[in-house]
Amino acid sequence: MSFSKCLTLKNMNPCLKKIEYAVRGPLVIRAAEIEKELKEGKKKPFNRVIRANLGDCHAVGQVPITFFRQIIALIAYPGLLSDPNFPKDAKERAKSILNGCRGSSVGSYPDSSGFEIVRRHCAEYIENRDGIPADWQNIIIGNGAKDVIKAVMELLISEINGKKAGVMTPIPQYPLYSAAISKFNMHMIGYYLDEATNWSLNVSELERAVNEAKEYCEPRAIVVINPGNPTGQVLTRKNIEEIIKFAHKENLFILADEVYQHNIYDANSKFFSFKKVLMEMGPPYNQMELASFMSCSKGYMGECGLRGGYCEITNLDPEVQKILIKSISAMFCPNNIGQAVLDCVVNPLKKGDPSYELFEKEKNFILDSLKERAKMVYEGFNACEGMSCNVVQGAMYAFPQIKMPPRAVEKAKSLNQCPSVFYCFQLLEQTGVCVVPGAGFGQVEGTYHFRTTILPQPEELKHMLNIFKTFHEKFLAEYK
Amino acid sequence: MSFSKCLTLKNMNPCLKKIEYAVRGPLVIRAAEIEKELKEGKKKPFNRVIRANLGDCHAVGQVPITFFRQIIALIAYPGLLSDPNFPKDAKERAKSILNGCRGSSVGSYPDSSGFEIVRRHCAEYIENRDGIPADWQNIIIGNGAKDVIKAVMELLISEINGKKAGVMTPIPQYPLYSAAISKFNMHMIGYYLDEATNWSLNVSELERAVNEAKEYCEPRAIVVINPGNPTGQVLTRKNIEEIIKFAHKENLFILADEVYQHNIYDANSKFFSFKKVLMEMGPPYNQMELASFMSCSKGYMGECGLRGGYCEITNLDPEVQKILIKSISAMFCPNNIGQAVLDCVVNPLKKGDPSYELFEKEKNFILDSLKERAKMVYEGFNACEGMSCNVVQGAMYAFPQIKMPPRAVEKAKSLNQCPSVFYCFQLLEQTGVCVVPGAGFGQVEGTYHFRTTILPQPEELKHMLNIFKTFHEKFLAEYK
């Protein structure tokens, strides 16, 4: 008996077909296959895959913060509250979280926007960071920042004068944004970051991008990732002011991805939140609409797998905010464990607390080590002939440029691959090092990059950079 | 200086405006206000709010399963693996979960569809349940069932011959479906459950609904909730077969919400999964496309706040499945704690395991008590004059009908309220009992219902039913 599917490529949601997501794309799938082959005893010129493709700290040896994990154990299994091996401050914090849970169990539903107590702590954290008031009712917690990024972007889906909503997005960009734009049937307005000035945002480039786009879409929002992913830059206050002025002129909603706000390594760089700058610029800028995103997955904690993140919305139309809250309550629910971790991040231990010394030691060890690794990566790639890499001022990534030999470009094109993809596949197959091709993030036509994390532990990273140098020299020799 | 918002009610996403979600709607918001007022010492004719509005077991006194919580403590804080107070089987399970995590930390990213080991256990669970093979690669894990329900529904968004996709949805229904349909700009094709035959699905009603809908939409899928929410019925195998035949005739994708599969109370009822029935019906039915949803939030565990759920997809076009997986990897990430709980549910302890006896005792205590409460609710509401309630065969809810006095209907209409909303607000304000009006789920025009959970602990439930009876008599007297 014949049978035709009711759901096929032809009649499925066309927007989903357009989604691309390189950080978990074909190269990463191949890396997993190679790991399996190695496990099965297959001979390779290397004995393990080095994963520098994903900002996944714990996967590559980062140790969790003790206090955070004690909290999870205590709230999940409150019998431990009488265990003398757990410190007093951890028990107190655990009790206050359980107090915020209905029925004193983390198994009960939180409010859809998250626990009031955690939202209040987020607001206090922001106030302390910026010196600007923050209202806890403007905080929405999700299962990681992804949930809340999508929820805010969805507000902007609309058709105006027959034109789709356009969202300005950096190139190179973190592909969550392009994926969401595809899925939401919006238009991506790519603006190029300026590699020559350490990936800063150039207003004339923003102007070019928005003006060209106006013909075929209605520009509604601008995404800025600061510190940068995949580019590792930290925006100056002056640059942020320029972006805000531009957004004001074009009446754009600002989406500030600030999940790496704890990850600043460069002595000359400082993190300024968009909220702080916008508020301090005074009228009319301090009335602009802004959403800022933060996560437990990055920073010094790196708790990606526990899924905690928040959004602060500023100056949203109160009627629109009501609809946002309503739509969230129907569609989302943040997990309670991720919220507890978020609470630890935004309401950190204070001097004098029994666990403070250990916490500070662990936190600083990680941040100091990341700083060291940021430098290693910068120096390592710049030491390779035909490669250049900007200073990694912040975040967890570098985006080095490869001066690709013309014969390698030809070879890649003959395989119907972007040369950056070709390069990264060769690297993976020959050395086991897994990085993500620049094509997955976007790059100026005719330039070739890759994104690497700075996350492998220092010894491993040194090893990786050596492998890279040897591979790169061999590659240049082969295609010169 | 004047300032106009860039995002307003006029130019925001129109689909979000249409979303309604009664289970967290105005009545529930009012209940929270009343709780605050009571805390502040405001005098009311009652001293606490009794929440019977949400399937939130732990919020109303259900105790977590010890073994599950031990697992969370152990994986979050592996120092406890050497604590002699934790049983051996919990430690072994925790180690196997940590083994499945990159870097042996629950802080690392899982694969977007979830850990392979948990997906394999889900497939084994389904095989054991149905006696039908299940492929772990067809299992997708989310932050609760909501994530995966949305992901599957999104596949169906499309416009065919200028018509929106239509999704058949029961009335009354769990409003997640209507909310998702609004958000996705699809068309909801409501089909009425037959209250007279204990909320069964009547094929002639399905025919009516689909035929009327064909004029203005393209029917693509049918949602069936079994056991039923808000209606508490358990479908017979015969009824499921009829639904499958109907779906086949109309070429519909079946979305089977089976999250209450552990919650069967009626001695004459048995849970049959759509997968089992469809497969056992043989060709052509065993080639039909189906997605079945399951969750940790319900059953005997009730771990709503930890967010673990899965979907099994059956017979999906492999090309469509690839796109589903790709879109999930860009947009979703299940939390690892929810996955660990899911693992405990689908790979339960076995006789002889050190923790088995305690686990069985706790599980059976909860399920036996729910069975008793299902009966109490059924009997309690039927003992009220002018109220009728079907047997609660399964799930966690009853949906009693109120024979509303005409004067009460008039009064409600004068307030521009559905009489069911009017009734529930009166109940809340006068007694502190919080249930959800039938209007939030849908009901046959001119009939009035409410949804109550069966979840308050037995003594509290008895108290609630007494309050209800007194209130209801007073209400009838007032409006007779």
Chain A residue numbers with beta carbons less than 8 Å from the beta carbon of B331 are: 19, 146, 150, 176, 179-180, 183
Chain B contact for A115 (CB, 8 A cutoff)? no
CB contact under 8 A, A144 and B333: yes
State the nearest Cα–Cα gap between B474 and chain A, in angstroms: 31
At residue B1, does pLDDT exceed 60? no
Tens of pLDDT, residues B338-355:
999 999 999 999 999 999
Cα–Cα distance for residue pair B468/B480, rounded to 1 Å: 17
The pLDDT score that the predictor gives to residue B3 is: 61
The pLDDT score that the predictor gives to residue A3 is: 61
At residue B217, does pLDDT exceed 80? yes
Chain B contact for A474 (CB, 8 A cutoff)? no
Chain B contact for A457 (CB, 8 A cutoff)? no
CB contact under 8 A, B307 and A11: no
Q: If DSSP codes are grouped into helix, strand and coil, which group holds residue A453?
A: strand
**In 10 A of CB B284, how many CB atoms?**
11
At residue B371, does pLDDT exceed 50? yes
Size of interface A-B (CB pairs under 8 A): 308
At residue B23, does pLDDT exceed 80? no
Low-confidence ranges of chain A (pLDDT < 50): 1-2
Tens of pLDDT, residues B222-253:
999 999 999 999 999 999 999 999 999 999 99
Whether A407 contacts A26, CB under 8 Å: no
CA B57 to chain centre: 12
Which of residues 296 through 335 in chain B touch A, CB cutoff 8 A?
301-307, 315-317, 319-320, 323-324, 326-327, 329-335
Q: Which of A446-460 are b and which e, b meaning 16 or more Cβ less than 10 Å from the residue's Cβ?
A: eebbbbbbbbbeeeb
Cα–Cα distance for residue pair B11/A327, rounded to 1 Å: 16
Tens of pLDDT, residues B119-173:
999 999 999 999 999 999 999 999 999 999 999 999 999 999 899 999 999 999 9
Q: Which helix (H) or strand (E) holds A137?
A: none
Whether B296 contacts B338, CB under 8 Å: yes
Q: Using CB atoms, which residue from A76, A109, A251 is nearest to B6?
A: A251
Which of residues 222 through 251 in chain A touch B, CB cutoff 8 A?
251
- Between B336-346 and B88-100, two packed helices, what is the crossing angle to 10 degrees? 130
Chain A residue numbers with beta carbons less than 8 Å from the beta carbon of B107 are: 57-58, 62, 64, 301-306
Chain A residue numbers with beta carbons less than 8 Å from the beta carbon of B62 are: 103, 107
* B372 burial level (CB within 10 Å; 0-12, 13-18, 19+): middle
- Tokens in use for B316? 């999906």
Chain B residue numbers with beta carbons less than 8 Å from the beta carbon of A5 are: 289, 315-317, 320
Nearest CA-CA partner of A306 in A283, A335, A286, A326: A335
Query: Could you give the ipTM of this predicted complex?
Result: 0.96
| Residue B25 DSSP one-character state | S
Q: What average pLDDT does chain A have?
A: 96
Q: Which of B413-443 are b and which e, b meaning 16 or more Cβ less than 10 Å from the residue's Cβ?
A: eeeebbbbbbbbbbbbebbbbbbbbbbbbbb
State the nearest Cα–Cα gap between B475 and chain A, in angstroms: 31
Q: What average pLDDT does chain B have?
A: 96
Which of residues 156 through 185 in chain B touch A, CB cutoff 8 A?
156-158, 160, 175-176, 179-180, 183
**In 10 A of CB B189, how many CB atoms?**
26
Nearest chain B residue to A77 by CA: give it.
Answer: B69
The pLDDT score that the predictor gives to residue B115 is: 96
CB contact under 8 A, B316 and A7: yes
At residue B330, does pLDDT exceed 80? yes
State the nearest Cα–Cα gap between B385 and chain A, in angstroms: 33
How, if at all, do strands A217-225 and B159-160 pair? unpaired
Phi then psi for B32, rounded to 5 degrees? Answer: -65, -40
Tokens 């990897």: give the residue. B329
Residues 6+ apart with CB under 8 A from A429: A34
Nearest CA-CA partner of A51 in A408, A437, A456: A456
State the nearest Cα–Cα gap between A43 and chain B, in angstroms: 23
Phi then psi for B311, rounded to 5 degrees? Answer: -125, 135
Residues 6+ apart with CB under 8 A from B141: B110, B113, B114, B115, B118, B119, B122, B148, B308, B309, B310, B334, B338, B339, B342
